Amino acid sequence: MRILITAGPTREKIDPVRFITNYSTGKMGYALAQSAVEAGHEVVLVSGPVTLKAPENLAEFHSVESAQDMAEAVFSIFPSCDAAIMVAAVADYRPAEICSSKMKKSDGDLFLRLERTTDILAGLGKLKRDDQKLIGFAAETDDLLANAQGKLERKNLDWIAANKVSDGFGSETNKVILLSRTGERVDIDTADKKSVAEKILETVF
């Protein structure tokens, strides 16, 4: 199978020296990419800025920065793939204006206006053909299963990995609950991200 995987955070520029991002390290997405290569799949990895080395033997590697860059790469690659796993922690908002010069401080408060980015996964859910599988992640601090179930349905996914932020974000290990559109539930207990990745692939493919 040819599988598209996204990983890492995005960076949304404020000015030439500042940006908005999140704590994603990319480890879960890279572990999935590595495991998928080892399982014999053709893997296309689209990665936000991380400090990790790309797995060997990827079919393609695309390094992107912003949510918009990631959206453009993903929408052009997805039609040629059998499945996509969106692990990236994509920014939901970006500064409405990017200053071309470094912003100078003044005495008063500063207000940044943020505008929505594209929901890439929801876009893929609309484009998805019957022969394609779509898997998402739901990073939640509260109401894990209800929120994940909502995203599974809203974004037209086949599977979602429900992930408590305290169980995985920025850490070496992870713990997820996989929910499918047909009502299956598979619990994957705390383990290193590589083991969790292998179990996710065994379950969804």
Using alpha carbons, select from 32, 14, 162, 150 the residue that is nearest to residue 85.
32
Ramachandran region of residue 98, left (φ > 0), alpha (ψ -120 to 50) or beta? beta
How many C-beta atoms surround the C-beta of residue 2 within 10 A? 15
The enclosing H or E element of 77 equals helix 67-77
Kindly state the smallest distance separating residue 75's Cβ from ligand CTP, in Å: 11
Query: Has 57 been annotated as catalytic?
Result: no
The residue type found at 57 is N
The span from the CA of 51 to the CA of 134, in Å, is 27
Kindly state the smallest distance separating residue 86's Cβ from ligand CTP, in Å: 4
The residue type found at 38 is E
The reply on whether position 65 binds ligand CTP by CB under 6 A is: no
Kindly state the smallest distance separating residue 20's Cβ from ligand CTP, in Å: 13
Among 28, 33, 44, 139, binds ligand CTP (CB under 6 A): 139
3-state secondary structure of 15: strand
Using the minimum distance from each CB to ligand CTP, give the nearer residue, 104 or 126.
Answer: 126
The span from the CA of 19 to the CA of 15, in Å, is 7
| 92-111 residues near ligand CTP, rule: CB under 6 A | 92
Using the minimum distance from each CB to ligand CTP, give the nearer residue, 106 or 160.
Answer: 160
Which listed range, 40-48, 54-62, 95-103, 119-127, lies at the site for ligand CTP (CB under 6 A)?
119-127
Using the minimum distance from each CB to ligand CTP, give the nearer residue, 12 or 198.
Answer: 12
Q: Integer distance in angstroms from the first to the last C-alpha of the chain?
A: 10
| 30-59 residues near ligand CTP, rule: CB under 6 A | none
Residues of the shown chain interacting with ligand CTP in the complex, contacts defined by CB under 6 A: 67, 86, 88, 90, 92, 117, 119-121, 136-139, 151
Enzyme catalytic residues: 22
